[in-house]
Amino acid sequence: MGSLTFEGLGKSYGEVEVVRDISLTIAEGEFVSLLGPSGCGKTTILRMVAGLVEPSRGRILIGRDDVTNLPPNKRGLGLVFQSYALFPHMTVFENVAFGLRRRKVAGTELDKRVREALGMVRLAAFGERYPRQLSGGQQQRVAIARALAPHPRVLLFDEPLSNLDAQLRDEMQIELKRLQRNLGITTLFVTHDQGEALSLSDRVGVMAKGVMQQFAAPEEIYHRPATGFVASFIGKPNRLAGSVAMREGSGGRLAVGGVAIPAARIEQPAGAQVDVVIRQEAVAIRSGAAQSDEIAGEIVLRSFSGARVQYVVRLAEGVEIVAETASHGPEASLTAGAPVALAIDPASVFAMPPEGATA
Partner 1 sequence: MSDAAENRPGWGLTATAFTVVAFLQLPVIVVVLAAFSTTSYLTIPPQGLTLAWFGKVLSDPTYLSAIRMSLILACGSTLISLVLGVAAAYALFRKVLPGSEAVTSFLMAPLVMPAVVVGVALLQFYSMTGLRGSLVGLLLAHVVITVPYVVRSALASLSGLDLAVEEAARVLGASGFEAFRLVTLPLIAPGLVAGALFSFITSLDNVPVTIFLISASQTTLPVLIFSSVEMGIDPSVAAVSTLLILATGIVLLLAERRFGFHRFV
**Chain positions contacting partner 1, by CB under 8 A:** 50-52, 71-73, 75-79, 81-83, 85-89, 98-99, 102-103, 146-147, 150
Instruction: Give me the least distance between CB of 41 and partner 1, in Å please.
Output: 18
Report residue 158: phi and psi, to 5°. -110, 95
Sequence-separated (6 or more) residues with CB below 8 Å from residue 323: 280, 283, 284, 285, 310, 311, 313, 342
DSSP 161: T
Q: Which is nearer to partner 1, 101 or 112 (CB)?
A: 101
Q: How far apart are CA 147 and CA 99, in angstroms?
A: 8
Instruction: Give me the least distance between CB of 138 and partner 1, in Å please.
Output: 17
Instruction: Give me the least distance between CB of 131 and partner 1, in Å please.
Output: 11
Q: Which is nearer to partner 1, 77 or 197 (CB)?
A: 77
Pure H helices in the chain: 42-50, 92-102, 107-120, 136-148, 166-183, 194-200, 218-223, 228-233
Q: Which is nearer to partner 1, 79 or 278 (CB)?
A: 79
Q: Which is nearer to partner 1, 74 or 181 (CB)?
A: 74
Instruction: Give me the least distance between CB of 84 and partner 1, in Å please.
Output: 8
With 0-12 CB in 10 A as exposed, 13-18 as middle and 19+ as buried, what is 28?
Answer: middle
DSSP 183: H
Instruction: Give me the least distance between CB of 72 and partner 1, in Å please.
Output: 4
Torsion over CA: 253, 254, 257, 259 (sign): negative
Instruction: Give me the least distance between CB of 99 and partner 1, in Å please.
Output: 4
Question: DSSP secondary structure string, 18-63?
Answer: EEEEEEEEEPTT-EEEEE-STTSSHHHHHHHHHTSS--SEEEEEET
For the CA atoms of 199, 200, 203, 206, the dihedral, rounded to the nearest 10 degrees, stands at -70
Q: Which is nearer to partner 1, 50 or 321 (CB)?
A: 50
Cβ neighbours of 281 (radius 10 Å): 18
User: CA 133 → CA 80, 128, 163, 277, distances in Å?
Assistant: 19, 10, 17, 48
Instruction: Give me the least distance between CB of 73 and partner 1, in Å please.
Output: 5
Q: Which is nearer to partner 1, 103 or 178 (CB)?
A: 103
Instruction: Give me the least distance between CB of 189 and partner 1, in Å please.
Output: 16
Q: How far apart are CA 61 and CA 341, in angstroms?
A: 54
Q: How far apart are CA 296 and CA 282, in angstroms?
A: 16
Q: Which is nearer to partner 1, 150 or 218 (CB)?
A: 150
Q: Which is nearer to partner 1, 78 or 262 (CB)?
A: 78
Q: How far apart are CA 6 and CA 112, in angstroms?
A: 35
